[in-house]
Amino acid sequence: MNETARPASAMARPGAARLVSAWLPVVLWVGVITWLSGDRFSDERTAWWLLRVPFVAALGLPPAVVDVANLILRKTAHFVEYAALSMLTYRALGFNDPAPPRRARLLWALALAVACAIGDELHQATTWTRTGSPKDVLLDGLGAFAGALTGAAYLYRRRVARRGAP
């Protein structure tokens, strides 16, 4: 990525400040993922919270339906968490000087997200109410791949729009 493809506000900052503003969202998001993988967000607790949502409580859904809804909610959260992480990472890699090519950024963003997913599942395996699962790492990896592609497409479209489409 060349200098003109970077946001103007990022180019105005000195090197260290630019890198901090690029990587701080990544670090904070990894913190959010770590927090979400604790006991507070175990399967039982999210099901309990789901039952307290007014429209769910008003419907009087059978436990089996609530369990399926809880499963869908939890697996969607896995996908979205890691999609966001890889998008943020893809973006942050573009602020390095020199920025790696798009394909390398995509692979690095995916690799970092999968490494975090493995660490997250290992963390969950050490908590009382959670379990680590290779299936969740796979789901996280799929989310990361989708997120990295989305980030790449977004930045590419923005770059093309700035140059003027042919």
Q: DSSP of 148-164, one letter per residue?
A: HHHHHHHHHHHHHHHH-
Inform me whether the pLDDT recorded for 109 exceeds 90.
Answer: yes
Inform me whether the pLDDT recorded for 119 exceeds 80.
Answer: yes
The angle formed by the CA atoms of residues 24, 26 and 32, to the nearest 5 degrees, is: 105
Report pLDDT digits (tens) over 56-104: 777 877 878 888 988 998 899 999 999 999 999 998 998 877 778 888 9
> What pLDDT, on a 0 to 100 scale, did the predictor assign at position 1?
44
- pTM (2 d.p.): 0.79
Residue bearing tokens 């967000």: 41
Each domain of the chain, given as residue ranges in start order, spans 3-163
Range among 106-110, 122-126, 129-133 rated most confident: 106-110
Range among 54-68, 111-125, 146-160 rated most confident: 111-125
DSSP secondary structure string, 79-119?
HHHHHHHHHHHHHHHTTSSSPPPHHHHHHHHHHHHHHHHHH
Q: Half-sphere exposure of 118 toward its Cβ, with a 13 Å CA cutoff?
A: 5
Check residue 62 and report its DSSP letter. -
> What pLDDT, on a 0 to 100 scale, did the predictor assign at position 125?
87
Confidence of residue 32 (pLDDT cuts 50, 70, 90): very high
Residue 11: how many other CB atoms lie within 10 Å: 12
Inform me whether the pLDDT recorded for 2 exceeds 90.
Answer: no
> What pLDDT, on a 0 to 100 scale, did the predictor assign at position 144?
95
